[in-house]
Chain A
Amino acid sequence: TQLLEQSPQFLSIQEGENLTVYCNSSSVFSSLQWYRQEPGEGPVLLVTVVTGGEVKKLKRLTFQFGDARKDSSLHITAAQPGDTGLYLCADRRYNNNDMRFGAGTRLTVKP
């Protein structure tokens, strides 16, 4: 059972468009990490958010953590083909060593 719900599951857009993907839970996140995975590789960390209401920016990527720490979003401005990949959110739900992932959003950015 997936405790982290990610939406949409698939997203295909044209280069230059903006997009937002979401990660939600019915329970409070202890902290939330966003990863990106490219084909044939393992996921790579993009950002960690810890505090409710937190906003972090990484170049064209903006990450928000909900005030109640039950949801998070990733917004990409002016998407580029290099942004193509699987975006995963992850949470240390049960204890500090048990890291669980959502099913991911598969993003395709067409040139």
Chain B
Amino acid sequence: NAGVTQTPKFQVLKTGQSMTLQCAQDMNHNSMYWYRQDPGMGLRLIYYSASEGTTDKGEVPNGYNVSRLNKREFSLRLESAAPSQTSVYFCASARRNEKLFFGSGTQLSVL
């Protein structure tokens, strides 16, 4: 039972490079989320998707784009990475209003 799977686990980028973080869940959940976690800041919501075909901005969407490819997959794209985007990124999923299930995170460094 995989739950929420994120790839890659680690990534180092140079300023200006682009990349996509992948997330997939096998629990048939409707809602999916992307968070970033910085020291002392807790988890901050970047984007979420309440259902397949819909996406909405969270607290800190600038510099990111998302795609809800199907019910299972929700990707996060950095078009032009900046050092301020160095963080740990977490994907999560949930059935409607219930608890979130998190992946194990992607540690991203932008040099």
Q: A41-B104, A42-B92, A45-B99 are in contact. Are A99 and B45 (CB under 8 A)?
A: yes
Q: Give the complex CA separation of A92 and B45 in angstroms.
A: 12
Residues of B within 8 A of A1 (CB): 59
Count of chain B residues with a beta carbon within 8 Å of a chain A beta carbon:
26
Instruction: Report yes or no: A2 in contact with B99, Cβ–Cβ below 8 A.
Output: no
Write 29 A-B pairs (CB below 8 A) sorted by A numbering: A1-B59, A9-B40, A33-B99, A40-B104, A41-B104, A41-B105, A42-B4, A42-B92, A42-B105, A44-B102, A45-B99, A88-B43, A90-B43, A92-B97, A96-B97, A97-B31, A97-B48, A98-B45, A98-B48, A98-B58, A99-B45, A99-B100, A100-B45, A101-B43, A101-B44, A103-B40, A103-B41, A103-B42, A104-B42
